[in-house]
Amino acid sequence: MIEFTEAMLAQLVPTNKSAGKWHSAMCDIFPKYEINTAARIAGFVAQCAHESNEFKSLEENLNYSEESLKKVFSKYFGPGKRDAKAYAKNPEKIANYVYQDEFRTAKMGNTKPGDGWLFRGRGLKQLTGRDNYTAFGKSVGMTAEEAVVYVATEKGAIESACWFWNAKKLNVVADAGDIVKMTKIINGGDIGLDDRKKRFEKALEVLGRKETVAPVAKSTVSDDLDLSSVLTIGSTGDTVKALQSKLGIVADGAFGLGTSRALKTWQAKNGLVADGVAGPATLKKMFTKELI
């Protein structure tokens, strides 16, 4: 796994005062799910930080008022349905109604009395329903009931989210830097997309940049570099690696959002159009002139 320190995580979830515990848990869990590159870690942290209020909201809040119940669960409360007033501010009663299979079209596996409340949303990705707790529990050698206890811990909250991440093949999406597709898979839509994008870009910057970047003297252009090419998000190869080395970021040969962001900064400093695209003008200036 690339360098990923507690200090880096603290920058990404600045309102969370327990970054050390979360970082330790991530270091234990991430390798199992191959969340081991800047893009993958950035994607996971950005999405989960948005979903969980920077790892502080780990359990579904079902303490709804009468009016909120009618809005959020209009399928269950309102004219001709249950009286929202009788359920308001009673989270357990609400969960055992709206999440119990006997009242649902989309089943969750909640068939035993109290399953709705027992298997309410928990973790960074809000694992919900007996079926999901059973499937996750099986993957880590636990019963559904044991998984309930595990998901309430830092490691369990992370691993349940990693389990979802892995099931949805989100490493591949993160590798492509496709924050929109990532959000749609996780959210089912694009709620909070702007915040997720900002968090992703910041995470890439924090994970990809070196602490200090020394000025680079005039260099000899390698015969392997094609200075007439146009490099943008999605480009790969040796020229991308050389570009990243010049920018002082991780040279993995994959042009993603972090590379584009770093390039924009360099272009602005060097009197070029800061569009984050490395065309012939940018490449020739970068590899034949001294960096600022």
Range of the domain at 254: 215-292
In a domain, 11, yes or no: yes
Convert the pLDDT of each residue in 128-140 to its tens digit.
999 999 999 999 9
pTM recorded for the entire structure: 0.69
Provide the pLDDT for residue 292. 38
In a domain, 276, yes or no: yes
* Average pLDDT of the chain to the nearest whole number: 89
Q: Are residues 233 and 284 in the same domain?
A: yes
In a domain, 128, yes or no: no
Q: Are residues 12 and 33 in the same domain?
A: yes
Convert the pLDDT of each residue in 254-286 to its tens digit.
888 888 888 888 888 888 888 888 888 888 888
**Taking 70 as the threshold, does the pLDDT of residue 185 lie above it?**
yes
Higher per-residue confidence, 125 vs 252: 125
Confidence of residue 217 (pLDDT cuts 50, 70, 90): very low
In a domain, 117, yes or no: no
In a domain, 141, yes or no: no
Report how far residue 176's alpha carbon sits from residue 139's, in angstroms, rounded to the nearest whole number: 27
Confidence of residue 246 (pLDDT cuts 50, 70, 90): confident
Q: Are residues 222 and 286 in the same domain?
A: yes
In a domain, 229, yes or no: yes
Confidence of residue 224 (pLDDT cuts 50, 70, 90): low
Higher per-residue confidence, 209 vs 69: 69
In a domain, 163, yes or no: yes
Q: Are residues 165 and 280 in the same domain?
A: no
In a domain, 137, yes or no: no
By mean pLDDT, which of 32-36, 44-48, 87-91, 184-188 is the weakest? 184-188
Q: Are residues 46 and 166 in the same domain?
A: yes
Q: Read off the CATH number of the domain in which 231 is found.
A: 1.10.101.10
> Angle 179-187/193-208 helices, nearest 10 degrees?
130
Domain count, the chain: 2
**Taking 50 as the threshold, does the pLDDT of residue 64 lie above it?**
yes
